[in-house]
Structure 1
Amino acid sequence: MKRCLLALSLALCAAAAAAAPATYELDPNHTQVLAQWSHFGFSNPVANFGEVDGTLVYDPEDVAASSVQVVLPLSGLQAFVPRFNDHLRSDDFFDAANHPVVTFRSTRVEAKGEDRLAVTGDLTIKGITREVVLDVRLNKTGQGSDGRAKLGFDASTAVKRSDFDLGKFAPNVSDQVDLRITTEAIVPRASEQP
């Protein structure tokens, strides 16, 4: 009987720990932040913001207590053509020499139904900050192959280039840019935590 009670206590403790808020690090190997726009109506090119660095706090019991912070170094911006990469990083667009990163910091997280969230936050590009709302779908929570807690989600939003002083060639090159994000995040090992 004591063994059964001990096993039940351990199981309840494990369940409570699994439901507690956790801090995750974004996995840059399994994260893509894709931007897509219309080029004179002829094509819809994409660029990927690689080298993502970020953390998120997720509390399934109190979603409003969740948060996310992301840094996108423009050194990782990849439009798949070297000359175009350089053009996007130039002062015609991102001016990466003077503004080397794009950042996002959430200000509010709201539940929007089963596995759906609205994440409102401040997007900063070229020193200009605008509020954006990400439509988020939680794909899965569980354990990674090494036993650490892991989650994955997809998100999307649309922004106007001109809001961030990136509006060159608009409206022929669309002012609206659609952003699609897919990511996995994992709780860091104890030795990696501050």
Structure 2
Amino acid sequence: MRTAHLLLPLAAALALAACAQQDAAPADATPPAASAPAQPATAAPADTAPAAEAITGVSGTYVLDPKHTDVIAQWSHFGFSNPIAHFGEVSGQIVYNAENVGASSVEVTLPLSGLNSHVGDFDDHLRSADFFDAAKFPNATFKSTVVESAGTNQLKVTGDLTIKDITKPVVLDVTINKFGEQPMAKRAAAGFDAVATIKRSDFGVGAYAPNVSDEVELRITTEAVVAEGAAPAAPAAQ
């Protein structure tokens, strides 16, 4: 019994001492902050692509080469596929004025005899009265009304597209590919690509729209050479 009486005061004393130590700790003491996670290294910005080198235009009248000129039309067929048709046997000329691009011009004739979807029955249907009515309207034509510079090696060509004797304005976004001597023809040549979007119903060729898309994308590539015996002007000063 005496031992128990001695242990109780001792235990109380130890408890009081512990409380005193806690009270002595600074009121604003906080546990050490965890170290911030290392930040990943910031990747260096990728090198920007070099600016396109300007192509030196050469003034002259260039005749389209039908063997290296193609007009491709593409549309959606009920959303299942995006077939294409080619318009070949193209004829025409490009007058390019390197000193004053606005004085340039384009005239093109697309005979429907050159239409080729690679499916004979479909070609016959496209030439029928359901679509182009080629027996009555054998050609489509394009004649520029405005030619503008649209940046390095880019032009915007606005012109009148005529199909089935219906004429509507169309804008071509044109890329200048090259001016120089065509190595096989041994004559000065110029090359261009162009894209445009038209509504076929505007030209009386709207059968099955809108299930077969009314909008048709046109992609054009052409190579043109100066007429034999003609010489182009000197390149424009840069």
| TM-score between the two structures when normalised by the length of structure 1 | 0.87
Q: Indicate the RMSD between aligned Cα atoms, in angstroms.
A: 1.3
Name the count of aligned residue pairs: 174
1:26-175 mapped onto 2 (5 Å cutoff):
26-145=64-183, 146-175=185-214
Larger strand proportion of the pair: 1
Q: Is the 8 A contact 2:58 2:179 kept in 1?
A: no
Measured against aligned partners, the alpha-carbon deviations of 1:93-146 in whole angstroms (never above 9, x if no partner) come to 000000000000000100011110000000000000000000000001111114
Distance 1:121 1:82, change over 3 A: same
Please state how far the C-alpha of 1:21 moved relative to its aligned partner. 2.5
> Would the aligned equivalents of 2:85 and 2:116 in 1 still touch at CA under 8 Å?
yes
Structure 1 CA distance, aligned partners of 2:57 and 2:117?
39
The letter for the 2-side match of 1:156 is: V
Q: How much does 1:190 deviate?
A: 2.1
Give the match's secondary structure for 1:95.
coil
Task: Return 5+ residue gaps in structure 1 as ranges.
Answer: 1-17
Q: Which runs of 5+ in 2 are unaligned?
A: 1-55, 231-238
- Separation in 2 of the partners of 1:19 and 1:108? 18
Amino acid at match of 1:136: V
Note the C-alpha offset of 1:91.
0.3
SS of the residue corresponding to residue 54 of structure 1 reads: strand
CA distance in 1, matches of 2:209, 2:187: 46
Matched letter for residue 63 of structure 2: E
Q: Check 1:97–1:113 CA distance in 2 against 1; reply closer, same or farther (3 A cut).
A: same
Residue 60 (structure 1) shift: 1.4
CA distance, structure 1, for counterparts of residue 58 and residue 91 of structure 2: 23
- What amino acid is aligned across from residue 174 of structure 2 in structure 1? V
Q: Which residue of 2 aligns with 1:5?
A: none
Alpha-carbon distance in 2 for matches of 1:162, 1:46: 17
Deviating above 3 A after TM superposition, structure 1's stretches of 4 or more consecutive aligned residues are: none
Indicate the residue corresponding to 2:236 in structure 1: none
Q: CA deviation at 1:188?
A: 1.2
Q: How far apart are the structure 2 equivalents of 1:19 and 1:179?
A: 25
